Amino acid sequence: MNLIFLGPPGSGKGTQAKRIAAKLGLLHLSTGDVLREAVKNGTGLGKKAQKFMEAGELVPDELIIGLIEEKLKAGALNDGFILDGFPRTIPQAEALRDMFARNKKVIHRAILLDVTDDEVIRRLSGRYYCPTCNAGYNYPMQLPKKEGICDNDGTRLLRRPDDEEVVVKNRLNVYKKQTEPIVDFYRKESILAAIKDNGGGPDRITESLLAEIAKINKA
Ligand code: AMP
């Protein structure tokens, strides 16, 4: 099963992609996670990506497309995956389509997690993560047992620098301008599905996603 999760920053893509990938035995490939790791390790990619990420801007297409091409060549996308945070522009979506056509691969669904702007801002301003195991928390919705400390390994929780309010607003603008057009791209390819977030909480969304994915298996 080959899936793309789409949605604005803070839509819960990462959380849901992690859960669904674990449940269905798929690879979870988050370009944001790959880039943050590259920045942390000071690699060539990290050095090129850092200033864009800190400003809430997108990293240039050729860097990201190159990264996905490498994963494809290495066979990482052979046994089913969820792409989280890629593609994020029309040129990225086109490059993915062409790469996959050359390799006789298909995307089964692009699933949009549909959340309002106000909800995005509310969520991102309360978002914290563990730098050791990458677990996510949210004040006041998903609190760790001990304030500011990861439940899994006791590490002090941090905020992503790009979750600060000015940067969040820019990321949302960037999403609307550069990423939202790919919703139509996948609608035209007839592989789009949308899950509306009505505030029922993350477990409800996971159920809706699993139901949507079950339809693919039956098709
Ligand atoms: P995310 O964790 O998906 O919110 O990504 C964090 C940041 O990484 C984004 O704000 C971008 O700067 C960069 N990034 C991640 N994925 C992409 C992509 N597909 N294209 C361009 N930039 C990306």
Confidence band of 25 (pLDDT split at 50, 70, 90): very high
Q: What is the pLDDT of residues 60-74, one digit of tens each?
A: 999 999 999 999 999
Cβ(32) – ligand 1 distance below 6 Å: yes
Is 19 within the bounds of a domain?
yes
Per the structure block, which two tokens stand in for 133?
């195991």
Q: Can you give the pLDDT at residue 52?
A: 94
Whole-angstrom Cα distance, residue 50 to residue 59? 8
Name the residue at shortest CA distance from atom 19 of ligand 1: 86
Q: What secondary structure letter does DSSP report for 59?
A: P
93 part of a folded domain? yes
Q: What is the pLDDT of residue 47?
A: 96
Range 94-122 average pLDDT: 94
Q: In sequence order, what are the residues at sequence separation of 6 or more whose Cβ sits closer than 8 angstroms to the Cβ of residue 7?
A: 13, 112, 113, 114, 115
Would the pLDDT of 149 be above 70? Answer: yes
The closest-lying atom of ligand 1 relative to the alpha carbon of residue 162 is 10
Task: Identify whether 41 is part of a domain.
Answer: no
Statement: residue 218 has pLDDT above 80: no
- Tell me, in angstroms, the distance from the centre of ligand 1 to residue 130's CA: 19
Structural domain boundaries, residue 111: 2-26+79-116+173-218
Distance from the CA of 146 to the center of ligand 1, in angstroms? Answer: 30
Q: Is the model more confident about 139 or about 176?
A: 176
Q: Looking at ligand 1, which atom is closest to the CA of residue 92?
A: 19
Average pLDDT score over the chain = 93
Mean pLDDT of 87-114: 96
Q: Using the predicted structure, report yes or no on whether residue 163 has a pLDDT greater than 80.
A: yes
pLDDT value at 217 more than 90: no
- Whichever domain contains 179, its CATH number is 3.40.50.300
And the tokens for 122?
A: 């509310």
Q: How far is CA 177 from the centre of its chain?
A: 17
Do the domain assignments include residue 134?
A: no
Whether ligand 1 lies within 6 angstroms of the CB of 85 is answered as yes
Task: Report if residue 38 sits inside a domain.
Answer: no
pLDDT band at 121 (very low <50, low <70, confident <90, very high): confident
Predicted confidence band at 123 (pLDDT cuts at 50, 70, 90)? confident
Query: Is there a domain that residue 156 lies in?
Result: no
**What is the percent of the chain where pLDDT is above 90?**
80
Which run of H or E residues covers position 30? strand 27-30
Residue 9 beta carbon below 6 angstroms from any ligand 1 atom: yes
pLDDT for 142 equals 85
Task: Report the domain count for the chain.
Answer: 1
Determine, yes or no, domain membership for 72: no
Percent of the chain scored above 70 by pLDDT?
99
Based on DSSP, count helices (H) and strands (E) in the chain, helices before strands. Answer: 9, 7
